[in-house]
Structure 1
Amino acid sequence: MTEDPRQRYQRAIEALNRSDWKTAQSLAMDLVRDVPPHAGVYFVAGVAARELLQIPLAIQCLEKSVQLNPARPDYMAHLARAWAQASEPRRAVELADRAAAMPSDDPVTLDALALVYTQAHAYDKAAAMFGRVAELVPHSARSQFNYATAMIHSGEIGVAEQALEACLRADPRYWKAYLSRAQLRKYPKQDNHVEAMESLREGAGDDATAQMCLNLALSKEYEDIGEHPKAFERLVAGKSWGGRGRNYTTQRDEALFDAIIEGCPDVGKQSGFDSEQPIFIIGLPRTGTTLVERIISSHSEVHSAGELQNFGVALKRATGSTTPSMLDMDAVMRSRGLDWKALGRQYIESTRPATASLPRFIDKLPHNFLYAGYIAAALPNARIICLRRNPMDSCLSNFRQLFALSSSYYDYSFDLMDTARYCILFDRMMRAWHARMPGRILEVGYESVVDDLDSWARRLIAFCGLEWEDACLRFEENAAPVATASAVQVRSRVYRSAIDRWKRYASQMQPVRELFEAEGIAVDDGCDEQDLPGPERGT
């Protein structure tokens, strides 16, 4: 006897609710073929396809569910998520706004909207949604963690700490929360969590996520109390756990860097898209890119768009490459002979509507240093600013940071010497860009900005072709959300405590120093102004 379609639909919903995506998809797609168009059936099929990363199919099914029942905010929210996963933030935000305008107290729907807004860098909207979710399900560790993250982006550190404590009360094994809490502020001996976290670490066994997060949290809190040998020991252990299974080799990146430099276009100014709107801030992560972004974005004519993936996505699509990685040998080889004007236009359009509110916008994805030659060809009037920092501090700060685990950009950062070798590759690439495009990229030394903020702030604003505004010196008053590893620090005035941090670990960093010196890279003088291209270039 053939099973009643209503029973099959109920089984599809049950499979969806227990995250059995393949079963849910199979049941729903059978129903799509067997019964008249039904919004709920298409919704189940679409969500399952999205979770299985079958994004075109997900969009097709979820669009149908919304057409059949446009009054359902959950249908609209998941369609927005699918468009966000398709790297179409404009469409995703439009749909999310429509869904958010509908009354809903469903935490799953509100959470989906918050994720869309986060991915689209609409952090104020994301914070509002995560806050509502935390109120609706106060005992959900995940909801409290997401709310804490949103509050960190907004500079509400006290609220974030309370949410993280609530997260850990709900689930003491929510390991990421220990690391986030440790990074919120400096914890003195009478107020830290070292003893409790050491006990948890010893009992965590071979749980790689637990060991990674607890060791890195311990490293931070040991550093807070000046126990630097223990801090470094925990740092190495945490990163070692995090790097397991990533199979990183410096040779992989070296081959890619060489291919990018060799294959990058030599295109005249007339070939690109004529727009002066974008300001790209590039460099190694954790080298002052956020500081410079906050200075420039404090100007009344500049919008901070955050760390956009848009240029890499636009280039990947333009090449027709279908490999999993955003930038790899296949994409580099296919990039030859592109229509650079069309690429520049596509990039600008992909940032809308968020970047259309002011005359200029900042794209602060540090790893856009890989795309600098492509950016120069596609957007000949865009400003490009590269941050430099003492290479020893650059290496340590990259090794200390736990970057996005889902991105292969940061595979180098789980081993100290791999990080050092990556710093060398970055240095070679920047020297190659300067040789190929003299005067095109303004290099700025982090130490120079800290030591002479007034002078360098004025030079940065002039380089961007803007009139000076005193607000650029009061960047700590900038209320715009920050979604980078520097989200806590940038709310403060400029401080020098991060300069020469590596000297606290001089003995552990000695192999790095020897490697840099063997490559002819100075390690004690930082990035001196006289070694940089003059700020007047390009103004």
Structure 2
Amino acid sequence: MPDPAALYRQAVDALNRSDWTRAYWLASSLLPQCDDHGGVHFVAGVAALHLADNRRAHAHLQRAVRLSPTRPDYLAQLARVLATARATREGLEAAERAVALGPSDPVTLDTLGVVFSQCNAYARAASMFMRAVQLQPRAANMRFNLATALMFVGDLDAAEREYEACLALDPRYWKAHLALSQLRRQRPDSNHVERLQSLLATVEEPAGRLYVNLALEKELSDLGEHARSLQHLRAGKAAWRQTLDYDIRRDERIFDAVRRGFDAAPERPGHASREPFFILGMPRSGTTLVERILSSHSEVASAGELQNFGVMLKRLSASTTSRMLDEDTLARAAAVDPAELGRHYIESTRPLTGSTAHFIDKLPHNFLYAGFIARALPDAPLICLRRDPMDTTLGNFRQLFALSSPYYDYSFDLVDTARYYVLFDRLMAFWHERLPGRILEVRYEDVVRDQEAQTRRLLDHCGLAWDDACLAFEKNAAPVATASLVQVRSPIYATSIGRWKRYGNGLDDALAVLRDAGLVDASA
């Protein structure tokens, strides 16, 4: 029998080298003899987390914490598993317990920063990342994490310094190039175009070509070079598109299943709560702008882009498939009790919510769940943002969403993005037919042109009294964690209306899709 101590050292070594498969195998082989050893369960749990096996990761890390309750690193990793599984309340509680134990190693502090970020507690995340960087200043990933948290809380100067520090340590930390380009509007006398072009000539891997091309697209667009910027946008998205196994028919099946799942569910009472407001719609359609307007009200706070409703529906449906929303989940949704779903959803948002009378859940893709939300929370206001179809399509194509999420695979091809917009439009027509008067539609362009009138519509729909602060949303000091974080810290402006027209005939392939669907005037 091999020496358990030697095997454990090998397992720890494999973990430190990020050899997750070997680390898990070694730790698992020790468990029959060492089931009461917290360290063995910790190694197995962290390895399982990186192998995307959340169930085993949670079981091992829970056991590790029970066996070694004074280890903040064990608690931090358990918190990470919980946050990754969108168990926000439990994740925050575990993270705060870890902080109370006084962690002093940079990896644990960085992990806690990640957890707080995943739970939308960005100021708390920034403090963790700051401590991690102080202890390990030459870790590029920690400088990047700190920069991103600082960006979310609005300290753009400090964020810029940290992104540059990250790139000084590792010029091929691709994400930092794009983040830096998006941090400010680039100017002829202050930009990174030359550096990015030199770097692009050396990049071969898809991720590098994606990020560097998109950084160039952003900067060239800021400088008014729209034809060149579009070339880089298409090149960057195409580089990543080739790594995906995607077909628009996959999304067509999901949209069809949403309709079937909703129609199959019998009418039953939901959970009585006016606490949440849901802002939904296609990404890049003005959802963050409306969120900032409403959350400037004294009775309203923003909880950010919560995944909680989808998570609760998935759990209560008892679907065991890997994706959050798929045909199996939607087929089972008819059996979910709406009142139970609504109650579990509200409970899952704590402790982020509850300090004000109302909170905003601003997850754009909740448009897929709109009917289920309406039934589960019959008193909750729903607001759908609409924007010019071509501007929305271009905005989605320009945006880089989470690479780990299959729900944004459409956005790596311009024509697919236009087709996805058509699916969205048809689904919203379905919701309005099934739920007449339940969802307030607000046009981004109308908000820009007459903010006060649209703000009164929003407040009336939400049952709120007038608050002058809603007209000065740019003074709202709450963190922002969306692609619009820079824009919404400025007064309202109209320069993004009709942005697509700057590209001449460069977007004709998307325009043709929207014309054929009757969503764009034939003369456009």
Q: Same fold (TM over 0.5)?
A: yes
1:63 alignment partner in structure 2: 62
TM-score, reference length from structure 2: 0.97
| 5+ residue gaps, structure 2 | none
Counterpart of 1:110 in structure 2 is 109
Which residue is equivalent to 1:285? 283
* Number of the residue aligned with 1:391: 389
Conserved? CA contact 2:248–2:420, under 8 Å: yes
How far did residue 104 of structure 1 move?
A: 2.3
8 A Cα contact 1:267 1:377, kept in partner? no
Shift of 1:386: 0.2
The correspondence of residues 334-345 of structure 1 with structure 2, limited to 5 A, is 334-345=332-343
Query: What residue identity is the alignment partner of 2:17?
Result: R
Secondary structure at the residue paired with 1:291?
helix
Q: How does 1:17-416 map to 2 (within 5 A)?
A: 17-35=16-34, 37-204=36-203, 206-265=204-263, 271-416=269-414
Q: Partners in 2 of 1:441 and 1:226 — Cα distance?
A: 38
Distance 1:380 1:363 in 2: 15
Secondary structure (helix, strand or coil) at the match of 1:271 reads coil
CA contact (8 A) 1:266 1:377 kept: no
| Residue among 442, 445, 448 paired with 1:447 | 445
Instruction: Kindly indicate whether the alpha-carbon contact (under 8 Å) linking 2:220 and 2:229 is maintained by their aligned counterparts in 1.
Output: yes
Query: Which residue in 2 is equivalent to 1:530?
Result: none
C-alpha separation in 2, matches of 1:294 and 1:525: 35
3-state SS, counterpart of residue 203 of structure 1: coil
Per-residue CA distance 1:372-391 (angstroms, 9 max, x = gap): 11111111111100000011
Shift of 1:36: 6.6
Shift of 1:525: 11
| Stretches of structure 1 lacking an aligned partner (at least 5 in a row) | 527-539
Q: How many Å separate the matches in 2 of 1:514 and 1:253?
A: 20
| Counterpart code for 1:336 | A
| 2:91 counterpart SS class | helix
CA distance in 2, matches of 1:486, 1:521: 25
Q: Does structure 2 conserve the Cα–Cα contact (< 8 Å) formed by 1:265 and 1:374?
A: no
Is the contact made by 1:392 and 1:523 (CA closer than 8 Å) also made in structure 2?
no
Which stretch shifts more, 57-66 or 120-129? 57-66
> Aligned with 1:354: secondary structure?
coil
* Contact residue 268 and residue 338 of structure 2 kept, 8 A: no
1:15 Cα deviation (Å)?
Answer: 1.1
Supply the distance in 2 between the matched residues of 1:515 and 1:67 (Cα, whole angstroms). Answer: 57
* Aligned 8 A contact 2:130 2:146 in 1: yes
RMSD in angstroms over aligned alpha carbons? 1.7
Q: Structure 1 pair 266/37, CA: closer, same or farther in 2 (3 Å)?
A: closer
Q: CA deviation at 1:30?
A: 2.7
Distance in 2, matches of 1:159 and 1:524, equals 48
How many angstroms apart in 1 are the aligned matches of 2:88 and 2:478? 19
Aligned partner of 2:466 among 465, 468, 475: 468
Q: Output the CA distance in 1 between the equivalents of 2:265 and 2:31.
A: 50
What does residue 535 of structure 1 align with? none
CA pair 513-65 structure 1, distance change in 2 beyond 3 A: closer
Shift of 1:190: 2.2
CA contact (8 A) 1:513 1:523 kept: no
Change in 2 beyond 3 A, CA 1:510/1:61: closer
Deviation at 1:270, TM superposition (A): 5.7
Mapped contact 2:303–2:361 kept (Cα < 8 A):
yes
* TM norm structure 1: 0.94
Change in CA separation of 1:525 and 1:391 when aligned onto 2, cut-off 3 Å: farther
1:51 maps to amino acid: H
Cα shift at 1:137: 1.5
Q: 1:403 to 1:3 in 2, by over 3 A?
A: same
Cα deviations across residues 30-81 of structure 1 (Å, max 9, x unaligned)? 3222147222222222222222233232222222222222221111111111
- 2:126 maps to a residue whose letter is A
Q: Which SS does the other structure have where 1:467 is aligned?
A: coil
Deviation at 1:467, TM superposition (A): 1.3
1:119-176 alpha-carbon deviations (Å, 9 max, x no partner): 1111111111111112222111111111111111011111111111101100011111
Distance in 1 (CA, whole Å) between partners of 2:64 and 2:335 is 41
Provide the rounded CA distance (Å) in 2 between the counterparts of 1:333 and 1:372: 16
Distance in 2 separating the partners of 1:120 and 1:359: 20
1:437 aligned partner, one-letter code: L
Q: 1:245-286: per-residue Cα shift (whole Å, max 9, x none)?
A: 212222221222122123314778861111111110000000
Q: Which amino acid aligns with 1:251?
A: R
The answer to whether the 8 Å contact 2:385/2:441 transfers is: yes
Structure 1: distance between partners of 2:113 and 2:264? 42
